[in-house]
Chains A and B, each alone.
Chain A
């Protein structure tokens, strides 16, 4: 997940995960947590919706950005 392992170590890990369901499960869960951490394509958030900043909040934030 963080650096490229030598081929033989990658193979050993993959073989272990084929035999150890808990380690295989652990790997899938870490990949899920990575996906959740990094993605910004989010259902209910990035699709068009009526829910958003109020006009007052929008004006306030724009004003704060101009000031600062």
Chain B
């Protein structure tokens, strides 16, 4: 099977348009913006279709592109932090652990499973807000790994970083994201 047959853009709008729209609408709460994000997703997918290798389903792939677009949208809305330097979040400046290895701020219980998390708008809002407010490079590493599902080798090639850089960036991104969500998520 050649790669061109793995995607079929003629069917995208009818097959995936509504579900992408519903997901976008849950996040951005504006019909016009959600429609634009869906259009941007399909256009980006058209440009990238030759790179789709069938490692995920077409739907999963389109959702990943949409999530990128949603993060960009949140970033445009609140651009304050995303230009901060990665080194501003180095352990020496923002330690997560004390000198004897104990948590500086212990993780609290979340008491939420994935289904409940999707259904809780506040949790998902905090999730996207926090990713969008991370330094760009940390957010990129996290998104490539967790949303795009790339391996660390692939991320290293894409971002032109060493394996140890990649692991440090993923570590910092996850620590920041987890702490940010915990701070900003208002439980009902």
- Tell me if A12 counts as interface (CB < 8 A to partner B): no
Assuming the contacts A35-B114, A38-B147, asked whether A60 and B178 have C-beta atoms less than 8 A apart, the reply is: no
Whether B46 and A29, one on each chain, are in contact in the complex, defined by CB atoms closer than 8 angstroms, is no
Whether B17 and A45, one on each chain, are in contact in the complex, defined by CB atoms closer than 8 angstroms, is no
Chain A contact residues: helix, strand, loop or mixed? helix
Whether A45 and B23, one on each chain, are in contact in the complex, defined by CB atoms closer than 8 angstroms, is yes
Chain B contact residues: helix, strand, loop or mixed? helix
- Tell me if B18 counts as interface (CB < 8 A to partner A): yes
Interface residues on A, range: 35 or more
Assuming the contacts A36-B127, A44-B26, asked whether A61 and B17 have C-beta atoms less than 8 A apart, the reply is: yes
Task: Name the CB-closest residue of B to A25.
Answer: B107
Q: List 30 A-B contacts (CB under 8 A).
A: A1-B170, A2-B166, A2-B167, A25-B107, A29-B107, A29-B110, A30-B178, A32-B110, A36-B114, A38-B146, A38-B147, A38-B149, A39-B118, A40-B59, A42-B23, A43-B119, A44-B119, A45-B19, A45-B23, A52-B17, A52-B21, A52-B22, A53-B17, A60-B39, A61-B35, A61-B39, A65-B13, A65-B43, A68-B43, A68-B46
